[in-house]
Structure 1
Amino acid sequence: MPSTHDPKTPAWPPRSAPRLFVEDRLAQGAMVSLEGNQANYLSRVMRAKPGDAVILCDDATGEWVARMESADRRNVTLTVGERLRPREDVPDFWLVPALLKKDRFDLVLEKATELGVAAIHPVVTRRCVADKLNDARAQTLVTEAAEQCARTALPQVAAPVKLDALLAGWPEGRVLFFADETGGDPAAGAFASAAGPAALLVGPEGGFDDAERAAIRAHPQARAIALGPRILRGETAAIAATALWMGIAGDWK
């Protein structure tokens, strides 16, 4: 059937419309006021002007198109129009990465968000070079990544915990795939054979020490996996294994 869209009529909203997550719960006809960095981004960086479309998400109701009513670099006002999509259901998959150097962990946060994880639970191990996470910076990184890749649901970013506390409080019914550099079941087969909620534990630059490895392997929910014949950096292992899980058991199937 031929398209009924008039090629001379611009699509609404245009594909180039900027995307932002906002704190307000959205509804058709609501007025949204943005200040600070978001106002500056729309008015100065994107050069949006009254009448332009902006895509808004609230991490609750989904994705909406809004029309800019007024703008300057300090304040932007928009009117919410129709809802474009409901909030997405993401696979019940947690990434549990050991803390890395800041730039490398930034990459993990960004790519895990793009790949579709539901939650990121940082863990502190004996060989970690960092033991703290800037919560505000982490939230900004995952929010910007979600805006870039058109997610409508933000991943939860938990506060870092030590490995022993993580294992002690691990929820029943969630398999904990453990990327063990000393070997384990091939990752692809392990992901394909395990149903239900899942998580992936990945170590720091120096790996896990013997006592940590023994404690993880002894946990009833843990399953050691191997990520191929090469030694991977922490960020590479986290990103590659997450992509593999999404392709086999997640929403890439």
Structure 2
Amino acid sequence: MNTAAVAAAANYSAQQVRDLEALGVIPAAARSRNGYRRFSTAHVHALRAYRHLAQAVGPVAARRAMREIRLLPRDEAAALICGFHAELNGERQQALAARCALESIRAEATTEAKPVEADSMTITELSHALGVRASTLRYWEKVGLVAPERVATRGGTARRYTLTAIREARITVALRAGGYRIPEVRTTITAVRDLNEVSDSIAALDTRLEVIAQRALALLRVGTLLAEIIEFGERLGYGAGTASTGERDR
């Protein structure tokens, strides 16, 4: 196949095919004696694989993976792809943990627990409101779960918990009560910090979970194509093509 034919078969433009070849995403095309590129069905498969992989993990990671799986030993190439599945699952678990925390806070509002209504609180006020020790709040700050501000006082400085810090403390209380360990809580707090308005956080997380699901499906769709490249690369023509003399950029 020439460049136009492989582009049409893989639903790319001819220029995109040339660019992806230059980037090493697909193997270098063989050249005819007159210098024209000659592609095979293996190139069509590689282009289709890249499309799904880019949807799943992003174009930068996909380009790197498409180059490396043709060069790495089979076990390392397979592990590279398995790593993408693990990373996506990790993102999903983080989003689910954050959603669980926010749901706990929303449920807390319907209980008889003392609400936290102040714009900011001292460590003593917050410890009383949440029913935890001040030393516990200081420890949570030390391990990165809560980030109070420091304000000047006559004797030096004191902690002041803003609405954001109060929210983080409440999330931590809810998750710790649910059996989450400190590293798991830290992962959740990191996810929540990435969100904007609290009122929209659950909806944002639902959207994130749907996007992750779509990316995971794309990764599953590309699995067979990637397995062929890893397992039968040279035999199916995924290896680099050889160039003839007098090549031209066609």
Query: Higher RCO, 1 or 2 (CA under 8 Å, sep at least 6)?
Result: 2
Structure with the bigger percentage of strand: 1
Q: Give the TM-score of the pair, scaled to structure 1.
A: 0.24
Q: Which has the higher helix share?
A: 2
Larger radius of gyration: 2
TM-score by length of 2: 0.24
